[in-house]
Amino acid sequence: MKFENDLGKPWKYEEGDFTVVRSSVWSPPGCHPVGCGVKLYVDKEGRIDHVEGDENDPITKGRLCPRCLALKDYIYNPSRVTYPMKRARDKRGDADAWERCSWDEATDLVVSEWRRLTEKYGKETFAVFVGTGRDGMLQQDYILSVFSTPNLACGLSGFACYQPRMMAANMTIGALYPEIDYAGGLEGGYDDPSYTPPKTIVIWGKMPLASNGDGMFGHAVIDLMKRGAKIISVDPRVNWLATRSEVQLRVRPGTDAAMAMAWANIIISEDLYDHDFVENWCYGFDEFSERVKTMTPERAAQICEVDVEDIYKAVRLYATSKPASIAIGLALDQNPNGMQACQCIMACMALTGNLDVPGGNIVADMSEPEDLVAGTKDQQAADNNEQRSFVTAGWYSMSEELRNKCVGMADYPFFCTQVTISHADSMLHALETDEPYPIRMGWIQSTNMFVASASAETKRWQAAMERSMEFCFGTDCFITPTIQALCDVFLPLSTVAEHDSVNRTHYGAASIVTGVGNKAIEPLGEAKSDLEITALFAEKIGEGAKSVYEGPIDYLEKNRLEGRHTFAEVRELVKYKRKVFYWKYELGKLRPDGQKGFLTPTGRVELWSSQYQMAGLDPLPHYEEPALSPTAHPEIAEKYPFVLTTGARTFAFFHSEERQVPRLRELNPNPLIEVSPADAERCGVSDGQWVEIYNEYGSAKFKAKVTPTVRSGTVMAQHGWWFPEQDGSAPNLFGAGLSGVDNLVPVGHNNPMGLCAPYKCTHCAIRPLQENHDVDMNDVWSKFGKLV
């Protein structure tokens, strides 16, 4: 392949007194999964002076989020820890007990404890706790290769972030999450001759401007609006995009499946579907039609509490727009009925002929070609590259016997084998009971699970982990509440500006671009990257672990670049497009056997899912009222009358990160809960007053924001809150318990596959408080404003 960088600037160049390094940043700190294009201005002393958006980046084109703009304040933050630390186990929770040590001492201690505990309990006793993940998460496979544990563990109940959507897509279309086509993978971008902008975009349970969720650059929606696209918003909350939409459906949280079934009903009953696509590429149309007839628009309007005429208007606009696309968000993952909603929404994409067409929804390419080319259907057929596949080393390097010990395998075998991770609720049970076996060692690898919507019933998790862990270590840039409470060793992590990395949108699923995080400065202190730390453990452990990869760059080339290119080659590009094909189902590019069709048992989009049936589940979409709904359960409504939803991202923070960056904290100093004016009056709550929300699982305190943007009967609480300016020692732990909304979200409410959870459709009551917990920003600035 010939690499051509025609974007105007090399990856490193001189500008005045600065060396400018172009980079595609992922994390840490959290700013992904788009991979913002940045220019890092490095002074003569080798320090970052400031950060600007990279106008040469083919996706972000100079636009930049606040988190990247404040990167310097994160890197040189005075509370950042850049040397290995240790403390005695009986000093856990004591912020003053940490002692600096060498990397050799710290890693020798970790390896020694790993040998001791795995010899006693087996390798499965070691669990690696992860979250959204750094550098695209795929380094976690490297970790499994080194430590040979089947227990990669995400505390998020039901893995209710992205995975349910991907599983629903796999069960329906045989491919991973279909993203809206914003020309991100086309050489000519919006002006590429093969591209047609969507006439209508449905934003369903997603606010991409703040989140850039899953690899979709949120501001691309604005670009497309400028090119004529109309917006339909399906969201309980009014946001910037919703105020500019043609139709806004403010559904009751947790009722999306009813709405999606009504959409399919209208599309079929009004003959708005693509007969050719349905006849040739869909399976189970008749059965699907009969099922969605049971959800009339009128019934859906009553369930979702919206105007039925708005439903008709939205569906007709979407179905008659050619092309049109739907962006599905986190809200569907965080609803136990969400996979059925996703199944039906993806059916709507297929019914209208908007799957894998220019301006529709892109389907993942099995061959993942990297050439910067896109053309017509005939041109693409002539350029159908050789199929490639890549099998992850970590999970499959273990014996079947060891993989079968993955916590949760007994109850959720499909989940564990498909996601290759332990089941969260099952892991909590194991930590509490030692069943099916003890978990005695942990690595807090990329999560702050006691505060960051990375668990449910957080206090249970904390108590269980404190009870069970004989040894625990953590890697991060800061001492977080989770690390403070649990860890015996702390290993300092380098930031995205201090090491080389590679990132791919959508975590490698349906990628449209690959970005390179170029190292701009030397790490502060003795900080190392996740890959360097894992490679160091591979060296210490031996036993064949070292032979998997020969260090970080080898990992990037074999795993992230799939053995196709050297890191030196792609570094020059900073970000390169990965050649988007359209109509791949006609080209044999969706199946490893090269045959036409979709990668499903029938080779078609399965409106009636044979894979759901094989798993013992209903093969057709259906609606289930949220189990914790105050609307449908009078006994709940009497005590807890409000629907509680959480998990929405803000512009200032990435989940629990950046609370110690004053410039970002100024944007959002206090934890907020949004309450409608009618509900605030009903509860005696004033704007700016502190309140307590509570239910049978727990309670949390927030500052009320009274606003009509949240629907009556629903409250929206921010997540990820802790207060780095407060005392870090237990029991305070930087104030982690004050505003922990996850304490109100219960475990044990997943769907039969073990996926999804009610983060966006549980219940609560509200009581006003006389106490005031307002943050003094002068205190935040005095502690963190003077950079080191």
**At residue 313, does pLDDT exceed 70?**
yes
The answer to whether residues 218 and 349 belong to one domain is yes
pLDDT at position 657:
92
- State the residue for tokens 């209508």: 200
Q: Are 509 and 33 spatial neighbours (Cβ–Cβ below 8 Å)? A: no
Residue-wise over 333-355: b if at least 16 C-beta within 10 A, else e?
A: bbbbbbbbbbbbbbbbbbbbbbb
What number of other Cβ atoms are within 10 A of residue 452's Cβ?
29
pLDDT exceeds 90 at position 26:
no
Domain annotation covers residue 627: no
Question: Comparing C-alpha atoms, which of 423, 401, 487 is closest to residue 122?
Answer: 401
- Does any domain span residue 372? no
Q: Are the beta carbons of 643 and 631 closer than 8 angstroms?
A: yes
Closest CA relative to residue 435, chosen from 400, 411, 414, 399: 411
- Mean per-residue pLDDT, 8-33: 89
Task: Note whether 211 and 261 are same-domain residues.
Answer: yes
- Is pLDDT at 359 greater than 80 in this prediction? yes
User: What confidence tens digit (pLDDT) does each residue in 653-680 have?
Assistant: 999 999 999 999 999 999 999 999 999 9
480 vs 372: which has the higher pLDDT: 480
pLDDT on residue 508: 57
pLDDT at 137: 62
Same domain, 472 and 557: yes
Q: What are phi and psi of 155, to 5 degrees?
A: -70, -5
Do 541 and 609 fall into the same domain? no
Q: Which of 561, 575, 578 is nearest to 515 (CA)?
A: 575
456 and 422 inside one domain: yes
* Confidence tier at 556 by pLDDT (50, 70, 90): confident
Q: Please indicate, yes or no, whether residues 764 and 643 belong to a single structural domain of this protein.
A: yes
Q: Is the pLDDT of residue 389 over 60?
A: no
Looking at per-residue confidence, does 92 or 213 come out higher? 92
In a domain, 374, yes or no: no
* Main-chain phi, psi angles of 218, to 5 degrees: -55, -40
Nearest to 568 by CA among 556, 579, 559, 577: 556
Q: Which amino acid is at 354?
A: N
Domain CATH for 520: 3.40.50.740
Considering the domain architecture, whether residues 740 and 669 belong to the same structural domain is answered as yes
Q: What is the DSSP string of 401-443?
A: HHHTTSTTTTT-HHHHHHH-SB-HHHHHHHHHH--SS---EEE
Question: Mind listing the pLDDT tens digit for each residue in 442-477?
Answer: 999 989 999 876 789 999 999 999 999 999 999 999
Domain assignment of residue 772, yes or no:
yes
**Interval 408-420 mean pLDDT:** 93
Averaged pLDDT score across all residues of the chain: 91
Query: Is 491 a domain residue?
Result: yes
Q: How many residues does the chain have?
A: 788
pLDDT (average), residues 103-113: 98
- Lowest-confidence region among 283-287, 445-449, 519-523, 694-698: 445-449
Query: Do residue 207 and residue 309 come from a single domain?
Result: yes
- Preceding amide of 436 cis, omega within 30: yes
Q: Which pLDDT score, from 0 to 100, does residue 544 have? A: 59
SS3 of 266-300: the string is: HHHHCCCCCHHHHHHHEECHHHHHHHHCCCCHHHH
Instruction: Tell me the per-residue pLDDT of 720-766, one tens digit each, with 9 for 90 and over.
Output: 999 999 999 999 999 999 999 999 999 999 999 999 999 999 999 99
Domains held by the chain: number: 4
The H or E element that residue 764 is part of is strand 762-768
Q: Are 279 and 248 in contact (CB under 8 A)?
A: no
Q: How many CB atoms lie within 10 A of CB 261?
A: 32
Give residue for tokens 């309990």: 121
| The pLDDT of residue 221 | 96
Instruction: Rounding to the nearest 10 degrees, give the CA dihedral for residues 737, 741, 744, 748.
Output: -110
What pLDDT score was predicted for residue 368? 47
Structural domain contains residue 663 = yes
The CATH number linked to 50 is 3.30.200.210
The phi and psi torsions of 501 (rounded to 5 degrees) equal -155, 170
Q: What is the mean pLDDT of residues 327-355?
A: 96
CA distance 481 to 463: 14
Residues 70 and 125 reside in one and the same domain: no
Maximum average pLDDT range among 251-255, 373-377, 450-454, 633-637 = 251-255
Predicted pLDDT of residue 387: 28
pLDDT at 75 exceeding the cut of 80: yes
3-state secondary structure of 729: coil
pLDDT for position 388: 29
CATH code (residue 687): 2.40.40.20
For residue 111, the surrounding DSSP H or E stretch is helix 103-121
Q: What is the structure's pLDDT at 177?
A: 83
Residue-level pLDDT at 545: 59
Report which residue type is found at 297.
P
CA-CA distances (angstroms) from residue 422 to 126, 157, 408, 413, 570? 12, 11, 6, 10, 34
Residues 569 and 437 in one domain: yes
Please tell me the least confidently modeled range out of 15-29, 203-217, 706-720: 203-217
- Residue pLDDT, tens place only, 109-145: 999 999 999 999 999 999 999 987 676 566 788 888 8
* Cα angle: 114, vertex 116, 117; to 5 degrees: 65
Amino acid 547: pLDDT = 56
CATH of the domain at 246: 3.40.228.10
Would you say 472 and 443 are in contact if contact means Cβ atoms under 8 Å apart? yes
pLDDT of residue 393: 63
- Quick count: other Cβ atoms within 10 Å of Cβ 305? 16
pLDDT of residue 372 exceeding 60: no
Question: Are 186 and 277 contained in the same domain?
Answer: yes
DSSP state of 522: P
Please tell me what DSSP assigns to residue 355.
Answer: B
> Do 267 and 340 sit in the same domain of this protein?
yes
The reply to whether omega before 358 is within 30° of 0 (cis) is no
737: left (phi over 0), alpha (psi -120 to 50) or beta: alpha
pLDDT tens profile 231-271: 999 999 999 999 999 999 999 999 999 999 999 999 999 99
238: which DSSP letter? Answer: -
In a domain, 610, yes or no: yes
pLDDT recorded at residue 385? 32
* DSSP-assigned states of every residue in 655-715: TTTTTT-HHHHTTS-S-EEEE-HHHHHHHT--TT-EEEEE-SS-EEEEEEEE-TTB-TTEE
Its domain, for residue 660, covers 634-784
pLDDT over threshold 50, residue 691: yes
In a domain, 209, yes or no: yes
- DSSP letter at 177 equals -
